[in-house]
Chain A
Amino acid sequence: MIELIKGGLILVGAIFMFLAALGLVRMPDLLTRMHATTKAATLGATLIMLAVALHFGEVAVVARAFGVILFIMMTAPVAAHVIGRAGYFVGSRLWSGTVKDELRPNYDPLTHELKSGLETQENAKRHPRDTDPD
């Protein structure tokens, strides 16, 4: 039984990793490529590490396998966010079919200033509140 589950986990993990690589090759621009790779590769590595934990079944190994899973789960989104941000700032081109880019009209890449879209004379003034200290 454990053999069966282990084999299934390994196979599904490998298939997810293959799909991630396929998405990396086939997708049209940086952000869609990251969308394909980050999630699928994380899931693939997680499933294979679960199979490792099942295979050995000792406390030390299971703890290390879960440590790997936790580490991958925590760092993959951070790394993807940082790379995506850097890619946007250095001006990697978006796919021609992109529907919406809300950052473009509000963001100045030279000064790194982000507008809220509410910059009026009225909003520039500070209105006193009841909770202000005297």
Chain B
Amino acid sequence: MSTVILLSLALMCLALCLSFVRLFKGPSLPDRVVALELFSSILVGTIGLIAIATDVASLLDVAIVMALMAFMAAIGFARFLERGGARDD
């Protein structure tokens, strides 16, 4: 079981690195927002994995808050873009 968890954590770490590449390169601001959203999804998964690995059920609350924050951030960024906020990309 622990090898499966380690392997999955390694895969998700790699996924985080890949999405960081997009966050760094991303030609436009919407691309970066998509990368940030993927970040938060991967973090929800990682928190779930750590909850399994450490047997701490209350970590799930952190996952809930993470998902909520990601949704709010996406909506906020989209409003900002549509209102024509200052951009540097």
Partners in one complex: yes
Output the least CB separation between B30 and chain A (Å). 4
CB-nearest residue of chain A to B38: A37
CB of A83, distance to nearest CB on chain B (Å): 5
The reply on B61 being an interface residue by CB < 8 A is yes
Chain B residue at minimum C-beta to C-beta distance from A33: B34
Known: A58-B57, A75-B67. Contact between A24 and B18, CB under 8 A? yes
The residue from B8, B28, B87 contacting A30, defined by CB atoms under 8 A apart: B28
**Count of interface residues, chain B, beta-carbon cutoff 8 Å:** 51
Considering the complex, give the chain A residue whose CB is closest to the CB of B14. A18
Assess A24 versus B30: contact at CB under 8 Å? Given A17-B42, A79-B75.
no
Residues on the B chain within 8 Å of A87, using CB: 28, 30, 81
Interface of A is mostly: helix
Q: Is the CB of B12 within 8 A of A83?
A: no
Contact indicator B11/A86 (Cβ below 8 Å): no
Contacting residues of chain A (24-71) with chain B, CB-CB under 8 angstroms: 24-25, 30, 33-34, 37-38, 41-42, 44-45, 48-49, 51-52, 55-56, 58, 60-61, 64-65, 67-68, 71
Q: Measuring CB to CB, which residues of chain A are less than 8 angstroms from any residue of chain B?
A: 3, 6-7, 10-11, 13-15, 17-18, 20-22, 24-25, 30, 33-34, 37-38, 41-42, 44-45, 48-49, 51-52, 55-56, 58, 60-61, 64-65, 67-68, 71-72, 75-76, 78-79, 82-83, 85-87, 89-90, 92
